[in-house]
Structure 1
Amino acid sequence: MIDIKEVVQHSGKKKVVVIDDEVVTRKVVSKALEDDFDVYIVTNIFESIRICEVQMPDVILLDLLMPSVDGFEILELLKNHAVLCDIPVVCMSSSEDSSDRKRIRNLGAIGFIKKPISVKTLADDINQVLESVTNVISSVKNHVEFITTFNSLEKDKYILKILTNIAEDEKVIFLSWDKGDYFYEENELIKKYIDDERLIFLETKPSLITKFSYMQDLSPLLDDITRFTGRRSRDITLVIDEIRNLINDQNSDRGVSQAYKLSQNLHNNFKNVTYLNSRPRKNDEQLFLNKIGKILVGNRL
C-alpha cells in the first residue's frame, strides 16, 4: 500500500508530488499549493519513485537535503527513469552553495526554490518555472515558429494548437521520427484530424540524415508532398518534429550551415513552418538548439 497523503482532485488543476521528510515543510507546502494544484505529499521517502510512477504528476517538488536519503540521488533516479524522466523537477534547499545549483541543473532539474518556503509566493514560483520550460522563438514576417517543449505531452498540445488555428480547407504536413500509430492511438483529437485528412502524418526515415547534407535543394521532397496531397506546398503548413535529428549537433559550424540551408529551402515553399522539439537534458545541447532555432526563424547570428 502506498504511504501517501492524497488531496481531493479538482478538474483543471495540475498535479504536484512533494518529496520532503520535514513534517513542518510538508504542511507549509501543502497549504501554499492547495488552491492551485492537486498536491500529493510523500510521507515515506523511500517510496518516492514508486509514488511518482503511480501519480504521474505535472511537476515534482524535491527537497535536496534530507537526513534519511540523498535528494540528489533521487533527482538522478528520476531523470534516468524511462517514464518519469520527462516530468519537470523543482528542487528545494536552504543551502546557499552555488555548486549545488549547478549540480541539479546538470542532473536535469528545471528550477530551484530557496528555503524557508514562502506560502504567499510558492504557487506563483512553480507556475513561473513551468511556463519557462517551453521556449518559443518566432517570426511573424517569415511565418516560422521554433518551439521547444519540456516533454511529449506539451508537444501534443502545440500540435493541436496548430491544427485548431488553420482553416477547414487547409492541411498540415507533420514530419516525425515517431510511428504514426502513436498519434492515431493515443490522442483522440489528433486522430480526428488525421481521419479528416487535415493532418497528414509522414514518418521520417533515418536515411534522410545521410542524404540531407548533400541536398542542393529540397525539390524532390516538395514534389512528393505536392503529389501526395494534390496541393502546392505553398498552401500547406509544415511541422517538423525534432529537427536536431537532421542537424549535426556534434559539429557546431556544420550544424549552423545546415540550419541556414534548411531555412532557405523551406520557408519560401510553405505557408507556415513550425519546428517542434523536446527539451534536451544537457545544458550545452539546449544552448545549441536555441542557436539553431534563431537561425531557422530568420535571425542572423
Structure 2
Amino acid sequence: MTGKDKILIVDDEKINVAVLTSYLADNYDVITASNGEEALKIVKKEEPDLILLDVVMPGMDGFDICKIIKHDYKLDFIPIIMLTALTSRNDHHKGIEVGADDFLKKPADRFELDKKITALLRIKEHHDSLLQDRNKAYEYLDYVGVLIAVLDRDYKLIHINQKGADILGYNRNNIINRDWIDLIVSESYANLVKRKYDMLLDGIMNEPECSEYPIMTITRKEKLFKWHYSVLRDAKGNITNILMSGEDITEKRKDEIKLMEYAKELQKSNEIKDLFTDVLRHDLLNPAGLIKSFTELLEETGTNEKQQRLIENIKKSNLRLIGLIDNAAKLAKLESINEMAFVKTNISQMINDVQDNFEQDLKSKNITLKSETYGQHPALANPMIEGVFSNLISNAIKYSPENTNITVKVEDLADKLKISVADQGDGVPDKDKEAVFTRFNRLHKENIKGSGIGLAIVKRIMDLHGENVGVIDNPQGRGSVFWFTLKKAL
C-alpha cells in the first residue's frame, strides 16, 4: 500500500494513456484500461478513487461505462471525469445524465487536469468521511440502542423499546396501542407512510426495506429518521406485524447538505476563477494585441513629431497593459496549482538566457548586468523558475537609475543554491520588505507605473518549490538584493 489515491485511466489510445500517466504517476497510483469491459472489471476489483474516462471508444463508449458505474454498481461515490473532444451541448447533457462529475476537453491540459482531480478528490474525501461517521454511528447504536417498534396491521404500536420512548419523550406505557401514524408521523408524510406499510403488510415490498421520514416528538419537534423494516409472520407464514428500527439522521443530513453546498461553492469559485482567467487571456489580451499591431502600422506612416510622441505614448501604455494582463493570468493559473514537478536545471544557462531577453532594456538605460555564476550550478526546479529570474531582473531594471549596475550571483549553501539579484536603486524600506511580495502591493514610485503582480508571481512559484525568497538592503551601497533558494540537483 502506497497511501496514494488510485486513479483509473480508460482510453483506447495508447499515446493518451501514456501522456496522462506521465502527468499523474508521481502523485497517484495509476491503473489503466483500454476498453469498457476491462474498465468495469477493474472498477469492481480495485475500486479506484477517481476515473478518467474517454468518451469515444470502440464497443462500449464512455457514456455507457459511466452509466453502469453510477447506476448499476453498488459502490461508494467514485468521481468520473469524462475526457472528450466532443463539444456539443447535447454531448455535455448526455454526460450529466449518465452521472459524470466533470468534463475535460482533449488534449488534456496538465494544470486544468490537476485542478479538477484535486477538487473532486477533496469532495470524495468529505463524502468518505461522512460515510465513516455514519458507520461509527451504527457501531455506537449497537451499544446504546436505537428506536425499535412493532406495529400491527392497523398501524397500532404494540411494542417500543425504552430507548425509543425516550427519543420521543413519551412514557412507554402511555403510547402502547395508539396509532403510530397519528401519534408521531408528520401530517404531510402520513399518506406516503401508510402506502409503504400497506405494501409491506401485503407482501408486495421485498424485505429488508428502509425509508426516511420525519417524526414528531412529544414537544412537536421534528426529527428526521431513517427506518429499517422487516415483517413478522405467524406459524402459517402470514404477515402479522411490521418490525422497524429508526436511526436519527437529523444532524447527519444537515452535514450532508453543508457538504453539497460546499461542493457547489467550490465549483462556482473555480468557474469564476476560470472565467476571470479566460477574460484576461482572450477578451482583454486580443484587443490589446490589435492596438499593438495598429500602433506599429501608424509608426510606419508619415507623421509629424507631435503625432509620433502620441503614438509612442500609446505604444508604451499598451505594452504595460499587455504585461499586466499576462501577469494577472499567470498568477491566476499559479493560484490553482498545488504541486509541480521538478527537473534538473542548469541555473547558469537560464540566467544567461534571461539576460539576453533584456538586452534592449539594459541598453536603453545604460545599465550593466554582471553575472557571477562560475559554473553550471544544477538545481531541482520547475521550468516556471525562469519566471522568477525574469521578474527579478525586470524589476531591477525598472527601479534602477541609468548608468548603474545589476549583479546576479549564485552562492553554494551545502545542499542548496542561493541566487540573488542586486540593484543600485532606491531600495526597499524595512517596513515594506515582507509586504512587497503581497499581491498588488508595490512601493510608491511617482514615475513608475506597475501593479506589483510580478513579485507575487515570484513568491507563489517559490512557495510551490517549497523554498524561501526575500529582500535585503544592498551591502555594497544603495539599492536592494532580492534572493531565493533552490535545492541542488545531484
TM-score normalised over the length of structure 1: 0.49
Q: Which protein has the bigger helix share?
A: 2
TM-score normalised over the length of structure 2: 0.32
